Amino acid sequence: MEFIDYYKILEIDKKATPAEIKKAYRKLARKLHPDLNPNDKSAQEKFQKVNEANEVLSDPEKRKKYDEYGKDWEHAEAFEQAKRQQRNSPGGNRRTYTGNTGSTEDFSDFFESMFGGGGFSGGGGRRTTQFKGQDLNATLKLNLLDILEDQKQTLDLGHKKIRINIPAGVEDGQTIKITGYGGEGVNGGPKGDLYLTFEIINNTDFKRVGNDLYKNESITLYDAILGSTIELHTLTGKVKLKVKPETQNDTKVKLKGKGMPVYKKKGLHGDLYITYKITMPTNLSQKEKELFKQLSELK
């Protein structure tokens, strides 16, 4: 497998702090986001690599393994096991291996078996070591309206198609693991896993913050002064909402349970917050102007 320099992809130094990694990722993700580059395949490929780099470098354990083992970081535990067995086994041929950090260590033929060679068993016979296959990453685009209920989707992985269940309420950028749908294992080892990241496209008038939704709703000056009942469109249908007399501009009201479904918590929903925006009347008739003048004189 070709070595991918995640630090170079995120345009950061190898000594970058977690905060610097987060800042670099957000900057590049905004720049390369598919919504801003709809017909640019190169930008989309870079966006996936940026996500992959961030997934590894933003996780302290994964970053530590990557820094030490480079492209073989996913097999770090197997490497450590090989070193422990080499130290505990008497004699045996030794070889030198230079890791990603440039450090040098002695390994027995058992370590060589991880690259396709054979290792010595306790009885003198040859044996091979099994390794988990490479993990894969994929992105699935969904509209906000698609995640109001649980749904099933068919994913085309190239070599196979799989049917998965997507719980309602998944977040934009959320990643789930699908066990056993990664690369083939080595020497009969288990398959790797598929890490699926969701890209939620919000093509509605609602702003999503976690499980809550926010929306501005226009009301007339007369409704604001006298009070009224208005019909409001939510993501799940229409509701009637009472506007209290003398409602002020930017008044916010909460509709409990009218927000997004809570991920993997059946029946639970966030809230919907409506902010009233009063629209001023225009093209007033002479009679209307006179009435407003009379009102102002009363005040």
| Position 30 in a domain | no
* pLDDT for the residue 181: 87
Residue 10 φ/ψ, nearest 5 degrees? -85, 0
Contact 44, 34 (CB under 8 A): yes
pLDDT at 262 over 90: yes
| Residue-number span of the structural domain to which 118 is assigned | 67-127
Residue 290 vs residues 14, 222, 278, 297: alpha-carbon distances, Å: 73, 16, 21, 11
| Position 245 in a domain | yes
* pLDDT for the residue 85: 59
- Give the residue from 158, 174, 202 where a domain finishes: 202
Q: What predicted TM-score, i.e. pTM, was given to this entire model?
A: 0.56
* pLDDT for the residue 2: 62
pLDDT at 51 over 80: yes
- What is the rounded average pLDDT of the residues 133-143? 89
pLDDT classification of 38: cutoffs 50, 70, 90: confident
Give the total number of structural domains in the chain. Answer: 3
- Give the residue from 80, 104, 127 where a domain finishes: 127
| Position 193 in a domain | yes
Contact 143, 82 (CB under 8 A): no
Give the span between the Cα atoms of 142 and 259, in whole angstroms. 18
* pLDDT for the residue 77: 72
78 and 98, same structural domain? yes
